[in-house]
């Protein structure tokens, strides 16, 4: 009985929203959806409601799956995101792979319960295989095992790798990979360290 009452209430709410949306254009519907989302969350600690605001790329990438992303729009997203990458002023893109391994293993950071003064981790293993030693990893992203061994450490590869970590959408529009530099998740030194993890011949990625 309780379940049925609840289901009826949910259905009524959906119907009300659908009725409310009739006659609204795309932009108005998105604005309404954002208002509903903002009303459903509370700010806590460093997790503020402005996280729900989408930037241009996120808006374009949030179209329904039925609407395929046009090639020129995808190219535009990549161009704009590429322009946002800030390479280190000292020109050095590879740091310490040992630190990089710690950062890749750590999922700490950015949650309301995390201390914002403690540097965030990158949780690369949540989506990628990186080394043979770590047997627990996610598969949303491709395996990066032997990444440096296969590609070498030329300037072009270093720039691509650092840039990919900085802003994944510079190379793949609508990528599921977090934009670590663009969104201020990792510091410049941390991005150098994970770049070294992928490329340094001494790192477990390349053993």
What is d(CA 43, CA 46) in angstroms, rounded to the nearest whole number? Answer: 8
Which of 132, 130, 142, 146 lies closest to 201, judged by CA?
146
From the CB of 22, what's the least distance to ligand HEC, in Å? 36
Which of 200, 188, 186 lies closest to 158, judged by CA?
200
What is d(CA 73, CA 107) in angstroms, rounded to the nearest whole number? Answer: 32
Judged by the rule CB under 6 A, the positions of this chain that interact with ligand HEC are: 104, 122-124, 126-128, 140-142, 144, 161, 164-165, 168, 172, 175-178, 180, 194, 198
Which of 170, 178, 174 lies closest to 61, judged by CA?
174
Q: 52: how many CB neighbours lie within 10 A of its CB?
A: 13
Looking at the Cβ atoms of 46 and 106, the one nearer to ligand HEC is: 106
In sequence order, the 6+-apart residues with CB closer than 8 A to the CB of 111 are 45, 47
Looking at the Cβ atoms of 34 and 160, the one nearer to ligand HEC is: 160
């Amino acid at each position: 009985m309780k379940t049925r009452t609840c289901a009826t209430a949910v259905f009524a709410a959906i119907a009300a929203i659908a009725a409310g949306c009739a006659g609204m254009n795309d932009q108005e519907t998105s604005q309404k959806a954002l208002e509903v989302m903002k009303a459903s969350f509370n700010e806590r600690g460093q997790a503020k409601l402005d996280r729900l605001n989408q930037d241009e790329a996120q808006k374009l990438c949030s179209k329904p799956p039925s609407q395929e992303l046009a090639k020129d729009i995808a190219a535009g997203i990549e161009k704009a995101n590429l322009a946002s990458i800030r390479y280190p002023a000292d020109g050095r893109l590879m740091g310490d792979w040992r630190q990089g391994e710690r950062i890749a293993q750590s999922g700490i950071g950015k949650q309301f319960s995390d201390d914002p003064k403690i540097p965030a981790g990158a949780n690369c293993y949540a989506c990628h295989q990186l080394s043979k030693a770590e047997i627990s990893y996610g598969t949303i992203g491709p395996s990066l095992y032997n990444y440096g061994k296969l590609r070498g450490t030329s300037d072009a590869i270093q720039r691509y790798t650092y840039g990919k970590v900085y802003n994944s959408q510079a190379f793949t529009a609508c990528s599921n990979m977090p934009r670590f530099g663009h969104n201020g998740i990792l510091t410049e030194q941390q991005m150098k360290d994970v770049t070294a993890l992928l490329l340094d011949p001494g790192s477990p990625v390349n053993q």
